[in-house]
Amino acid sequence: MNLYDFTVKKMDGSDANLSDLSGKVVLIVNTATGCGFTPQYKELQEIYDDLKEKGFEILDFPCNQFGEQAPGNDEEIHTFCTGRFGITFPQYSKVDVNGENAIPLYKWLTKNTKFGGLKGPAKLALAPILKKMDKDYKNNGNIKWNFTKFVIGKDGEILGRFEPTDDIKDVRKMIEEAL
C-alpha cells in the first residue's frame, strides 16, 4: 500500500482519490484551530506558497481528538483558517486519526511510522498529558497531538514523520529534498 491507495472525504463530503496526487510530494497534517500549535498554519502556508508550483501539496485534516481543540464543523474550521491564516491549501473533512474510527489513511500512516519524540520547551508541557492519555506513548505509532506531519514522496511512500514540536525547518528540508 501507499498514499495512492486511499480515498478521503473533502469538506463538501465528496470523495478525493489520493491517486490524483501521483508524482507530487505531499505533506499530511492533522490540525486544530484552538491548539497552541495552531500558529503553525502560517508556516505551512509559507511552505505551500513557495513550493506548490514545484509539485508540492498539503493535505490538512482537522481533528478534534486532542483536547477537543478543533470544535465546529468543516465550514467553520475552514472559515477560521482562511480568515486568520490565509491558508489556500486543501482542507479535508474533520477526521479521527487514532482508534477504531480513524480513517484508513491514518491507520496506514501510524502503522508504518514511529513516534519521533518531543523537543523544545513544549516537551515539558506536553509529555505529562501524553503519558496520562497513553502510558506507552513513546513506543507506538499513534498520533500524539495536533500538527503531527507526514512527508510522502513522489512515489506515494512515507519519507518521514514529524511531531508537532519538531522544527518546521526540518520538515521543509525533507520536502525540498524530495522535490
**Cα-flanking dihedrals φ and ψ of residue 50, to 5°?**
-75, -30
Q: Which residues are catalytic?
A: 35
**Cα-flanking dihedrals φ and ψ of residue 130, to 5°?**
-65, -40
Contact 49, 58 (CB under 8 A): no
Q: Which of 138, 140, 141, 139 is nearest to 123 (CA)?
A: 138
Contact 122, 165 (CB under 8 A): yes
What nine digits make up the cell of 128? 505529562
Residue 102 DSSP code? B
Name the burial class of residue 94, with classes exposed (0-12), middle (13-18) and buried (19+) by CB atoms within 10 angstroms of its CB: buried
What nine digits make up the cell of 34? 484552538
What nine digits make up the cell of 178? 524530495
Residue 88 DSSP code? -
